[in-house]
Each structure stands twice: as C-alpha cells, then as structure tokens.
Amino acid sequence: MKLIYKKPDTITKRDTTYCPGCPHGIAHRLIAELLEEMDLVKKTVIVWPVGCSVFGYYFIATDAVEAAHGRACAMATGIKRTHPESFVISYQGDGDLASIGIAEAVHAAARGERITVVYINNGNYGMTGGQMAPTTLIGQITTTTPYGRKPELNGFPMHVPEMLAALDGPAYIARAALDSPQHIIQAKKFLRKAFNAQKNNLGFSLVEMISACPTNWKMTPVEAMERIRKEVLPVFPIGEFKVAKGVE
C-alpha cells in the first residue's frame, strides 16, 4: 500500500495531555511538518506558554523554553537577539497573548522582532476552567460570565491580527482556523509564509489560529467545530492582514 501520511518525526511518542477534540495537537502537527519541510528543526527554539500547551515541549522535539504567563514574546525576543541564527517560535493561547501578555506581543510586533508567533484563540482560558478571555464572544457563557459576555460590563472581543497589522514592524499577519480539512490546509499555507518572514529576516510574524475548547464550551468535538463555523468565524474572519514582499 502507498504511504500517503506519516506522523512527523518531530512529534514525539508521548501521550497527549489535551482533551478529546482539542485542536492544540493540530497546530503542533502543522508546526512540526513545516519545520521538517523547511529544514528548520535543528535551529528551532519554541517558547511555550502557561496554558493548556504548557507541556508543548513534551510533544514537539525541538529546543524549547517555558515562559512565565504572558512573557513568551519577551523571552522569544531575548533568544532571537542573542542567537540570531536560531529560528524562534512563540506559541501562545489567547489568555496568554491577548490578556496578560498583550504588552509584550504589541511591542515585539512594533519593534519588528524576527520571531514567529502562533496564537491559539479558543475563546477562553482553557487550562484554568474556562474563564472569559479577551476573545470571548458577546453573549458567550464562561465561568466568569455566567449570564453571557456583556459589552457594558466586559468589553468587546479583541482582534489581535487586525490591531498588529496597523503597526510597521510586522512582515506577516494572518488568521486561520482549525475546524475543517480545508481550513487546516490553508492554516499551513499561512504558517509557511509566517515562517518565511522570519527565515528571510523580514520582521515579526503572527498567525492566529481559531481553535475550539470542547470541554469548557461543554460541547462534543463535532459541535465545537460547528460552533466555530456558525458563531466564531463571522466575528473573527479568516484572512491575511499584512503580507510583506518576500514571504511567498
């Protein structure tokens, strides 16, 4: 039989710590596939966040460091500046990046740091039990918005790629989704451009990946994927927001 798919060697054999239906693993696979295809594995350092992906270094076999909550972009900056030959990825959830770490993310982008951020938006703080995140939709029930997110009390969802695309430092900014095979293929294309931005020394790059949290959304994995298409993507549309020459 012809082999048409193989698990990337860079994905380890460890059992996952993610819940059934959680797309963190899909994002990990896309990263591992691209690092291998682009021959970047040996020079890569991934900065892992606090959040459900805190044990990411168990699953992707590259050099890695663990950042304090929200500080991944700052750590990635330090690593890239002291080791400019390295390929540095900052992997962050929406709580980590858009809440506690928004200052680090905005300033790394504004400075045009040559790092790549993979930003996982699952609409809540997954690890700590489903509290409201900056990305939580209006009306969405979380453990801290039991009657649904209300703008007058809780503000509005934060669109990180659109905000960062207004800055001069980024070379590539996009939003993808992990809900369907077509969108996952597109997410890989976007991520390849983000990796190229760093490889070609063009500036900061970030890909937001619209994800799901079936456990805290209290849905089956299939219902969670349907919710992404029905409720999340109309508020967080897929697309490329900044594309510098040379990322293709």
- Name the minimum Å distance from CB 93 to ligand TPP: 2
Give residues with Cβ within 8 angstroms of 51, minimum separation 6: 69, 92, 93, 95, 96, 125, 126, 127
Q: Using CB under 6 A, which of the segments 4-12, 51-59, 109-117, 235-243 binds ligand TPP?
A: 51-59
In one-letter notation, the amino acid at residue 36 is E
- Name the minimum Å distance from CB 113 to ligand TPP: 20
Task: Give the interface size with ligand TPP as a residue count (CB under 6 A).
Answer: 16
In residues, how long is the chain?
248
Q: Give the other-Cβ count within 10 Å of 225's Cβ.
A: 20
**Using CA atoms, how far apart are residues 110 and 215, in angstroms rounded to an integer?**
35
Query: 17 vs 200, which CB is nearer to ligand TPP?
Result: 17
Q: What residues from 99 to 158 belong to the interface with ligand TPP (CB under 6 A)?
A: 120, 122, 125-128, 133
Crossing angle of helices 102-111/72-82, nearest 10°?
30
Residue closest to ligand TPP (Cβ):
93
Q: Using CB under 6 A, which of the segments 9-17, 35-43, 87-95, 202-210 binds ligand TPP?
A: 87-95
For ligand TPP, the binding residues (CB under 6 A) are 50-53, 69, 93-96, 120, 122, 125-128, 133
